[in-house]
Chains A and B, each alone.
Chain A
C-alpha cells in the first residue's frame, strides 16, 4: 500500500490490542443467596418471585412462589415473615413488605382463578398423608405435582388443621383458606374427612400405600393443675379456639383471664374480646421481653385493649375470683415466687400453656423414637420406621404454618426420592448476599412524604381482615423496592461503568457476559454492581 509522506504503517483499530493480558483479577457473574430466601422456613425463592411481580407479571410471580408454597394467600396473612426480619432493605430504609405482596399475589390468584399445573405423568406410587393441616397439604401438593397418587386422611370435619381450628377468623378468613385448599384438591388429591387414623400400619396396608407422611399436629392443650371450685369455668385455649368453628360458641363471660405467654394466648384473648368480654387479661409468669409471642401480635393485642399481667402465676380459682401470686425474676432470669398474693375477678380461665401431640395412631409401630412428646425424625424427615415420614407440629420445631409448609415440601422431596430408591440431594446453597456485598448507593430511599403512606399500607396488611390488603399500585410499588440481593436484575451498571467496554450486553432476560480479551480486571463492575452479583476471583497463571 502506498502511504503518504512520513507514514509507514497502515492505521488500524485498537481492537488488535488485547488488554485482557493485563488482568490479575477476573470478574465473574454469580448468583448469591438473598437473605429473605435464606430466612424463609418454607424455602420460598422470594427474590425470584418479586422479580416477576415488579414487572407487573403477577401470574409468573405467583407460579414461581407456588413452586415452593401452595398457600400464598394464607401465608400472606399468618406468616411471621422472618424474610422481612432478614431483608437487607431494612438497612437502607425499611424492609420490603414481602408478606403483603405475597398476600396480594395469593388474593389475585383466587380472584383470577389461576390453577396449578397438573403432573405430566403418573408414577403409580401411592402416598398416604395423615392430617390436612399446612404440613400435610403442602406435602400432598408437592407429591401430587411429582405424579404420585395422594390421599389425605383427616380426623376433623374440614381440612385446614390449625389454620381452621386454631387461627382466629380475624387473622385468616375461611373463604381464603377454602379457596387455597380446593386448588390443591383440584390437582387430584383425595381428601377423607372425619377419618381419624387409629393405626397407621393398618391404614397403609388397607389402602396399599407405598409411603406415608404424618402431620397430625399438636392439638391437645396442656393443662396445669389449678385447684378450682366446681362452679369455676376452666378450659384450654385449643378447645376454645376450635369451638369457635362449631355451632356452639364457648361461653366465657364478661371477664376472661388467659394464662400463658405464647401466640395462642394472644389469639385466645383477642378472640374473647371479640366474643364480648369487657375485660380480657393475659396472665404470664415472666415479663413482656420474655414472652414467646411475636412482638407485633402483643402490640396489636394491646391496641385492642387486651390487658397484660406480667410476673404472675395463678394459684387457684374460686367462683368468680382467681388467686394470683406475684413473681420476681432471679439473676438467671427465671421467675421465682414472692409469697405475695392478690386476687383477680374472672368469669372464666383459659389455659394457653402449650400443646401436646396425639401419637396414638403410632401404637405398635416398630422403630419409632418419641422424645418429649414429639416424633423424632432424621434430616430427611423419615421416622425410625422406613417409609413413614413426619413433619409439622408433631416433630420438634417451631410450630408455625410456615415451618409446616416447609416440612411438607422437604418431606415430599425425600419421599419422592425414597420411592424411586434414591436419596434426595438438595442443591448446594449459594453464598449469602449480606448487606456488605451490595452497593446501596444505587437504591433510592423514600422521600419523607412517601414513608408514612407506605407505613400505613404495610399496616393494613398485617392488621385484621376488616381492612384490605395492597391494591395493584402499591403492591407493584412494594415489589419494586426489592434490592434483588445477590441476583442480577439487569440494571446495566456493569455494562455502563466498564472503562474498557469489556462487558457485553446480551439483551432482555439474558443478562451480560465479560469480554475477557479486553477486561483489565479493574473491578469497577463488581464495586458498582448494586446487588452483589459480580465476584472478583484471582486469575490463574
Chain B
C-alpha cells in the first residue's frame, strides 16, 4: 500500500464536489461507499444501549465493529475490557451486541483475545478472527501489561482502544490518557496548578510502534472514511495490530452532546491528536490538517478546560498545550500539503 496521505477514502468522488467527507454519497456506487452508509450494515452495537446522549465511544465502537464484521464476513469475536463500553452495552441480562462478544476482567482483554485466537486455531477455524477492545483505562493503565505481552508475542489480535481520556463510567477519574490541565474528579480545578498535571505524557500508539508490530494506527470518530480504511487494512493483516480511536465524552469532558464529532475534528485540526499509521515500527503516513485551528478552539467548548480561560496561569497552560500540539504537527508533518489526487 503506497498511500502516503492516509486520506484516501473509500469513495473516489473527490474535491469540489459535494459529499467528499460525508458518510455516504448517492452519486457513487454502493461498493465505494462506507460501511456505515450501507442499509445492511451489521449494527454490531445496536439500539437500546445505555450510553449517554452523543456518546463518542458508542459511535466509534459501531463504526469499528461494523467495518470489521464486513472485512471478516462476520467471522469475528470481540473481547471487551471492563469500562463504559462494557457497562452500557451489557447491563444484565440485556446485550446490545449483535456479534459474539465476551467480557472477562478489566485488565486482561488482550490476553483473553489471544486465547480466543488460539482456540479458533486449535479448533481448525482460523478464519474466525479476534478483536480486543477497551477504553483508555483498560488499555493505557490497567490492561497495559497484557497489551504489551500480546504485542511482543505478535499474537493474531487487533486491539482497539476507544480513548475518552478518563475513567468515565465510575465518575470521571483521571487515567494516564487524561490530557494535562483537564479537570476530573481526581484532578480538581483548584490550587496553583489546577487540573491534571503536565507530567511526561504516555502515548500508547507510540509504545505500540516501539514494539515493531505489523500495524498501528490512530483515528477519530470525525473521519469515518479514514477509520474504516484503517480497520479494514488491519483485518487484512495477521499478527498484533493496534488502533487507537479518539472518542469525545460529553459527560466527562463537559461538552454538549451535539459537539462530539466537532470536538474530535478539532482535536485533529489543532494538532493535539495526531492521526497517523505505522507499520513494523515506522510511521508511514499521517492525515494532514485541513483547516488549522489554535488549541483554544478545541479546549473552549469543554468545561473540563474552563479554568484555563479564567486566569493568567490558564493562559500560560494554553500556551503549553499549544506547544505540545506544535510538536505533534512537526513530528507527524501534519501541515505539509496534501497530495492532490487526480
Contacts and interface: CB of A to CB of B under 8 A. Distances in A.
Interface of A: 9-19, 22, 54-55, 93, 441-447, 449-450, 454, 477, 480-484, 489-493, 495-502, 505, 507-508, 515, 517-518, 520-524, 526-528, 530
Contacts of B24: 490-493, 495-496
Nearest to B14: A444
Contacts of B22: 442, 491-493, 530
Nearest to B34: A496
Given A13-B94, A496-B23, A524-B261, A22 B53 contact: yes
Contacts of B252: none
A495 B16 contact: no
A520 B53 contact: yes
Contacts of B56: 499
Interface of B: 14-27, 33-34, 36-37, 39, 43, 45-51, 53-56, 58-59, 62, 89, 92-96, 224, 250, 256-262, 265, 340
Contacts of B23: 491-493, 495-497
> For chain A, what secondary structure do more than half of its interface residues adopt (helix, strand, loop), or is it mixed?
loop
Given A499-B59, A522-B54, A523-B256, 9 more contacts: A13-B48, A480-B17, A492-B24, A496-B224, A501-B43, A501-B47, A522-B257, A522-B258, A524-B257
21 contacts: A11-B93, A13-B48, A14-B94, A17-B49, A443-B18, A443-B21, A477-B17, A490-B24, A492-B23, A495-B36, A495-B37, A499-B51, A499-B58, A502-B47, A522-B53, A522-B257, A523-B256, A523-B257, A524-B257, A524-B260, A527-B258
Contacts of B58: 499-500
Max chain B C-beta neighbours (<10 A), residue from A12, A477, A515, A522 = A522
Contacts of B48: 13-19, 518
A527 B262 contact: yes
Given A500-B49, A501-B45, A526-B258, A446 B19 contact: no
Contacts of B53: 22, 520-522
B51 to A, nearest CB: 6
Contacts of B265: 441
Contacts of A482: 18
Nearest to B61: A499
Contact of B261 (A11, A18, A454, A497): A497
A489 B18 contact: yes
Contacts of B224: 496
Contacts of B340: 447, 449
B119 to A, nearest CB: 20
A462 to B, nearest CB: 19
Given A11-B94, A13-B46, A14-B89, A450 B16 contact: yes
Contacts of B55: 499
A55 B19 CA distance: 13
A520 B45 CA distance: 16
Nearest to B40: A505
B47 A481 contact: no
Nearest to B35: A496
B94 A480 contact: no
Nearest to A531: B18
Contacts of A496: 23-24, 34, 36-37, 224
A206 to B, nearest CB: 55
Contacts of B258: 522-524, 526-527
Given A497-B59, A497-B261, A518 B93 contact: no
B113 to A, nearest CB: 22
B16 A13 contact: no
B95 A490 contact: no
A495 B94 CA distance: 24
Given A14-B94, A492-B23, A499-B58, A446 B16 contact: yes
A481 B17 contact: yes
B33 A523 contact: no
B54 to A, nearest CB: 4
B58 to A, nearest CB: 4
A499 B26 contact: no
A14 B18 contact: no
A454 B15 CA distance: 12
